[in-house]
Amino acid sequence: MLIMMTVEFESNELSIIPAGILNRIDSAGDIPNKTYARNMIKIAMLNSVGRFAFWAKNTLALIAATDELGKPENAVYIRSSEIIGRPAELPKYFDCVFTVYPDKKSCEEAIKNGAAECNGKKCMECGYKCYKGTHKTIHIAELLRGVNAETRKSIMAWLANN
């Protein structure tokens, strides 16, 4: 990530990077800056056989890079909501918003209101809808996993007061 966010590579330099059929940008964190976003967009454009899902909270970097280079035809942009339980707005170029919900009730309510259910399903079993951009909705809902009851309760309390 450090190299890709510091050096803007030419397309011929990036063409040697292998890509699969389904690719996630960025599974290790977020898109740190416009240089990184430009490099990733170029990689997607160079690998037209594969599908690329760009997951981002830092939407401004991806938007700025897309303004300059265009959005790859083989890419879907997914905004990750910054705050648990609060769906973010859908920015320019983005296809959907992924939101983690703090409790079962709020997650089920989001799904009832039209969000696609993720909830820890295995991507293969789902059919990689996020990566293909085939959700019938712009919202994706997932229940917060891996927290104990006390942590969940404190998150719920914070959300109620903010």
Q: What average pLDDT is seen over the chain?
A: 89
How much is the pLDDT for 66? 98
Q: Position of tokens 């994706």?
A: 140
Is residue 54 located within the same domain as residue 95?
A: no
Can you spell out the DSSP letters for 18-71? ---SEEEETTTS---SHHHHHHHHHHHHH-TTSEEEEEES-HHHHHHHHHHH--
Is residue 91 located within the same domain as residue 117?
A: yes
Range of the domain at 35: 1-78
Residue 14 has pLDDT above 90, yes or no: yes
Digit-coded pLDDT (tens) for 33-91: 999 999 999 999 999 899 999 999 989 999 999 999 999 999 999 999 999 999 999 99
Global pTM reads 0.88
Instruction: Please count the structural domains in the chain.
Output: 2
Is residue 70 located within the same domain as residue 143?
A: no
Q: Three-state secondary structure along 60-84?
A: HHHHHHHHHHCCCCCEEEEEECCEC
Is residue 71 located within the same domain as residue 91?
A: no
Q: In the listed set 62, 78, 94, which residue is the last one of a domain according to the structure?
A: 78
20 contact partners, CB below 8 Å, separation of at least 6: 50
pLDDT band at 149 (very low <50, low <70, confident <90, very high): confident
Is residue 150 located within the same domain as residue 92?
A: yes
Share of the chain above pLDDT 70, in %: 93
